[in-house]
Amino acid sequence: MAKIMPFHGLVPTPEKAKEVAAVPYDVVNSEEAAALAAGNPLSFLHVSRPEIDMAPGIDLHDDSVYAKAAENFKKLCELAPLELDAEEHLYIYRLIMGDHVQTGILGAASADDYCNNIIKKHEKTRQDKEDDRTRHVMTLRSHTGPTFLTYKDSNEIDTLVAELTEAAPTFDLTAADGIQHTLWRVDAANSKKLSAMFDKIPYLYIADGHHRSAAAARTQAECAPKNPNHTGKEDYNYFLSVTFPASQLKVLPYNRAVKNLNGLTAEQLKEKISEKFTITPTDNPSPQKSGEFCMYLEGKWYLVQPKFDISKLGVIECLDVSILQDNILAPMLAIDDPRTSTGIDFIGGIRGTKELEKLVNQGTHAVAFSMFETTMKQLMDIADADEIMPPKSTWFEPKLRDGLVCHNF
């Protein structure tokens, strides 16, 4: 069964929480991080993207970058300040984006659960990204960016969470992007009670944060042999996570934009596609259901629907992103491996279809495809089958913030 444990959280003072809180390190590049942190010495981006305080163009994996992260972390702990909770707590973390509300449990997930597939995966990780996160965590001796987990809904957990969130929150802030972040520190007794409820949850699923989770497992593997009195209960055996009930999550599509037509004209591409798909001009740039997608080509949108029976396809092959990849991107546009191909870009659904139109209209890309979002059921079915989703299949919004709670070890 799954473990979500209370821990001694490292938190900013309430009046400084908004200044400290920052977007995750992996949703911005160096230039964007620098712009977001400009004029704010307390932004956690100085810790998660320390290169913004260094010479432009520095190798992001240089020893000095990790040393700068540690230096900035120590400085932030003093300036904000960040203070270590005297007691072990769980926290409740609520995100509000427009009409969408999701409420999760912030706690310490188990590295053993990750290794033993109690925490299930649906994506492959890249060695270079694992290396980077592991080194960042080990240099700081802290998990500073939470992994985004989910589980099949529990009425028991929902009831207690609803009761606990009637109290005044510890933090309540609205970020520059309009997303509200509210955090409650759960008292010690209810933290133990809430943690025990996860003993009845058979599996957790990674929604977002595969590299953070892998780095946590590597951190445990590195720390344990160095401790002659290792018991398995040390803080390095756990990592920072926020765990949400699956029904509350908002999954957006991950759209595709292809740079060239692989020697085809637009008409030739449409002819090839029409062998397996029905192509219909449309004024709607977004597909309305799973099993279809929209294509933007030469300033026009088309609805693209398979002529074949997708219900007979396997758990991976039936995904919309797989249907597009297997039948159009690979055989027609030479995007053989979307993980490594330089001929395709992936556009998170939060940017909208206008971004696809812009890319094609400005000439940097020749054709774009808007997708229907992958469902949580599909994600869980694939993870349960120990399968791996195609790259860039899901985009979760809203995003958690770094810096509101850290997990030291």
Residue partners of 317: CB distance under 8 A and separation at least 6? 323, 326
SS3 249: coil
In this structure, what token pair is assigned to residue 9?
């959280």
349 pLDDT band, cuts 50/70/90, is confident
Alpha-carbon distances, residue 199 vs 118, 124, 136, 196, 380 (angstroms):
12, 27, 31, 5, 19
The answer to whether residues 194 and 315 belong to one domain is: no
Distance CA 107, CA 406 (A): 10
Task: Judge contact between 53 and 65, C-beta under 8 A.
Answer: no
Is residue 95 situated within a structural domain? yes
Is there a contact between 403 and 22 (Cβ–Cβ < 8 Å)? yes
Same domain for 272 and 240: no
Indicate whether 130 and 231 sit together in one domain. Answer: yes
User: In terms of residue numbers, what domain contains 169?
Assistant: 4-250+397-408
Residue 291 has pLDDT above 90, yes or no: yes
* Same domain for 275 and 197: no
Query: Does pLDDT of 165 surpass 90?
Result: yes
| Count of CB atoms situated within 10 Å of the CB of 151 | 22
pLDDT cut 70: percent of the chain above it: 100
Alpha-carbon gap, residue 258 to 155, rounded angstroms: 44
Radius of gyration of the chain (CA): 22
CA 195 to chain centre: 23
Q: Are residues 263 and 339 in the same domain?
A: yes
Q: Does 385 reside within a domain? A: no
Residue 75: exposed, middle, or buried by beta-carbon count in 10 A (0-12, 13-18, 19+)? Answer: middle
pLDDT band at 11 (very low <50, low <70, confident <90, very high): very high
Q: What is the CATH number of the domain that holds 277?
A: 3.30.1760
Digit-coded pLDDT (tens) for 60-91: 999 999 999 999 999 999 999 999 999 999 99
Mean per-residue pLDDT of the chain: 96
* Confidence (pTM): 0.89
Structural tokens at position 264: 């085809």
pLDDT, position 319: 94
Q: Answer yes or no: do 234 and 305 share one domain.
A: no
Alpha-carbon gap, residue 127 to 339, rounded angstroms: 13
pLDDT in tens, 98-132: 999 999 999 999 999 999 999 999 998 989 999 99
- DSSP letter at 118? S
Instruction: Find where tokens 């092959």 sit.
Output: 317
Query: Is the preceding peptide bond at 81 cis, omega within 30 degrees of 0?
Result: yes
Q: Is residue 122 situated within a structural domain?
A: yes
**How high is the pLDDT of residue 15?**
96
Residue with tokens 């999701």: 102
Q: What is the pLDDT of residue 339?
A: 80
Residue with tokens 């812009």: 358
pLDDT at 35 over 90: yes
In a domain, 156, yes or no: yes
In a shared domain, residues 176 and 147? yes
Query: What is the per-residue pLDDT across 186-242, written as a single tens digit (0 to 9) for each?
Result: 999 999 999 999 999 999 999 999 999 999 999 999 999 999 999 999 999 999 999
Total domain count, the chain: 2
Q: Are residues 170 and 42 in the same domain?
A: yes
187 sits in the region (left: phi over 0; alpha: psi -120 to 50; else beta) called beta
Report if residue 210 sits inside a domain.
yes
In the block, tokens 């977002």 appear at: 208
Structure tokens at 67: 């040393």
Q: What is the pLDDT of residue 350?
A: 83
392 in a structural domain: no
pLDDT at 303 over 90: yes
Tens digits of per-residue pLDDT, 352-392? 999 999 999 999 999 999 999 999 999 999 999 999 998 88
Is residue 391 in some structural domain? no
143 and 30 in a common domain: yes
Residue 392, pLDDT score = 86
Whether the pLDDT of residue 348 is over 90: the answer is: no
Check whether residue 344 and residue 238 sit in a common domain: no
Q: Both 238 and 284 in a single domain? A: no
* 188 within domain boundaries: yes
Is 285's pLDDT higher than 90? yes
Distance between CA 251 and CA 59 in Å, rounded?
Answer: 33
Residues 235 and 261 in one domain: no
